[in-house]
Chains A and B, each alone.
Chain A
Amino acid sequence: MRKGILILVLLQVICFSLVAWLQPRYEARTGGAQASGNVLADLLGDGRKMVADYCYVEADVYFHSGYYPSVFDQARKQEETDSDVTHPEEGNGQEEAGFMGKPLDWIERFGRHFEPRVHTHLQGDQIREILPWMKLSADLDPNRVQTYVVTAYWLRRRLNKPDEAEDFLRSGLKTNPHSPDLLYALGQIYLDNRKDYPHAKNLFLAALRCWHEVEEPKPIKTETGEGQRNSFLLEQILGALAQEETDAGHLDQALQYLEQLKANASDPAGIQQQIDTLKAKINAGKK
């Protein structure tokens, strides 16, 4: 009995010594990662990014009201890549052909009676139903900028909650202070919802500066598309700056931004049209 207790104590001491030896090495390896303050995130450890991805996909499932391919379906990967919740304008009203495919046998055919069978997107303020998953996803992976941007978009555009959108974006900025996407999204709130032009301009200029810092060193195009420069974001920022200056009545400055935009735009002809309209407006004002 006594021998057994002594062995247990010895094992305990060995375990404690090992932990004391390993812990500083682990922290050095992971760059001294600190506790996130989120119990779930701490419990999940390194697996939390995987769970965050799951939560993000689950938001997309909710966006389709449960009509979603399973992980074993061919269409799943395509659907996850498309992520209608991220690109709502592209997905609205589109019928995805062969979404589920034909049932392979009578069991699958019969089972479809007990599952959602119609492809829909959440309409109006029903979009609120995706919010818990987005919040969980952001809590578990605060470095995933897209989660903040998409959530803020829905909060601002569909649910008319600019204050909540701003709070959420600011919480994202704490973890990702140099993210041009977050700064641009925040600027949109000040431009569209608050009509606070000077504040919006500052945020768009900060977004532009961060874009040059973060995106410019990246290659213009990569084979897989991963890690390539986000030129579309630059267009959005310059377009928003032009819009802000136009709304604020600074047409000359708006013209400058449109000229910059034309040099980087995917549709220069369209931008030229805007430039011409603006020039006509300036000339009319001078007369």
Chain B
Amino acid sequence: MNKIFAVAGVVIKELYRRKDFYVLFILTVLITGLMWLMNFFHDEQIIRFIKEICLLLIWISSLVIAVTTAARQIPFERESRTIFPLLAKPISRWQVMIGKFVGCWLATGVALLVFYIFFGLVSASREHTLPVDAYFQAFWLHWQMLGIVIAMTLLGSVALSTPAANMTIVFIITIGILAMGGFLHKLAEHMAEPSASLLTAIYFVIPHLELFNMRELIIHGWTGAALPRWIDVLGGTVYGLAYSAFFLITACLVFRRKALN
């Protein structure tokens, strides 16, 4: 376990040394600030529109941070040949892979937390309330979703030839699932066989990342009984961890047989 956390620690340090997070955070703050300054019919109480834009930017930024951080890990170690001294130590390949995953996931989680704190401040400054439970649920589910994306990216980083190809494919898959994943079965209803069965099968196989999206509830200020129950959040967490584990185990299996030179 110590070895896994040692590898993870290096990944976390790498994230705050790099500029990606700072640039994306400042960009989010700037754009949200501009939206804040926009004047719609001299009404200074409008907040949902600002929340929508801010949350959208947070989702985009967190995806960029998660995918770019995870996609570079193994290829960079191989390019710079630091993978050889690393594996010369008493550490197995699966420990390296899991260490990379834990590092990326924790680092992304820290970045996400900063984004959500900013979002909470923006929201509270106009609404004068801070529904901590709702924001925590949103943050938690968002983080679980990023876990799946990171595991998927790590699998891509050992299965695909270049980080660029990996990042492009993961972005397309992630955005595709977020936008369409929940509706594939409805589309299949209007299709002929065998396309209908194929699409339905895809619907049941893919990780439903859209399940972790609580944006509509947060934007429109739903609280109390309208929020998901904690048991549902737990269910979502188990679902997310199961898919993360699936991609991670597959990545470990591919990495175990991968030639490094």
Q: Which positions in A face B, CB cutoff 8 Å? A: 62, 65-66, 70, 72-73, 104-105, 107-108, 110-111, 113-118, 125, 128-129, 131-133, 135, 155, 159, 161, 164, 168
Contacts and interface: CB of A to CB of B under 8 A. Distances in A.
Nearest to B42: A164
A230 B14 CA distance: 66
Contacts of A72: 183, 186-187
Given A114-B232, A115-B217, A168 B41 contact: yes
Interface stretch (B46-54, B73-81, B248-256): B46-54
Nearest to A65: B220
Contacts of A128: 40-41, 43, 45-46
Interface string B215-239: 0110111100010110010011000
A9 to B, nearest CB: 31
B182 A107 contact: yes
Contacts of B110: none
B211 interface: yes
Contacts of A129: 46-49
Contacts of A73: 186
Interface size class of B (residues with CB under 8 A): 35 or more
B183 A131 contact: no
B208 interface: yes
Given A113-B229, A131-B40, A161-B43, 8 more contacts: A62-B48, A66-B219, A72-B186, A118-B226, A128-B43, A132-B46, A133-B49, A159-B43
Given A104-B186, A129-B48, A66 B208 contact: no
Contacts of B93: none
A116 B226 contact: yes
B235 A110 contact: yes
B148 to A, nearest CB: 15
Contacts of B49: 129, 132-133
A104 B183 CA distance: 10
Contacts of B186: 72-73, 104
B232 A131 contact: no
Most buried by B among A128, A129, A155: A129
Contacts of B91: none
A216 B94 CA distance: 78
A117 B42 CA distance: 32
B38 interface: yes
Nearest to A118: B226
Contacts of A125: 45
A114 B212 contact: yes
A201 B183 CA distance: 53
Interface string B19-63: 000000000000000000010111101111100000000000000
B175 to A, nearest CB: 16
Given A114-B141, A114-B228, A131-B40, A70 B217 contact: no
B183 A70 contact: yes
Contacts of A131: 40-41, 43, 46
Nearest to B208: A107
Contact of A65 (B183, B211, B222, B229): B222
A105 B185 contact: yes
B220 A116 contact: yes
A114 B217 contact: yes
A36 to B, nearest CB: 18
A107 B217 contact: no
Interface string B140-178: 010000000000000000000000000000000000000
Contact of A161 (B41, B182, B213, B232): B41
Given A62-B48, A132-B46, A111 B211 contact: yes
A60 B98 CA distance: 46
A31 to B, nearest CB: 31
A135 B40 CA distance: 7
Contact of B185 (A66, A104, A110, A118): A104
B179 to A, nearest CB: 10
B211 A107 contact: yes
Contacts of A164: 41-42
B232 A110 contact: yes
A145 to B, nearest CB: 18
B236 A114 contact: yes
Most buried by A among B40, B41, B47: B41
Contacts of B185: 104-105, 108
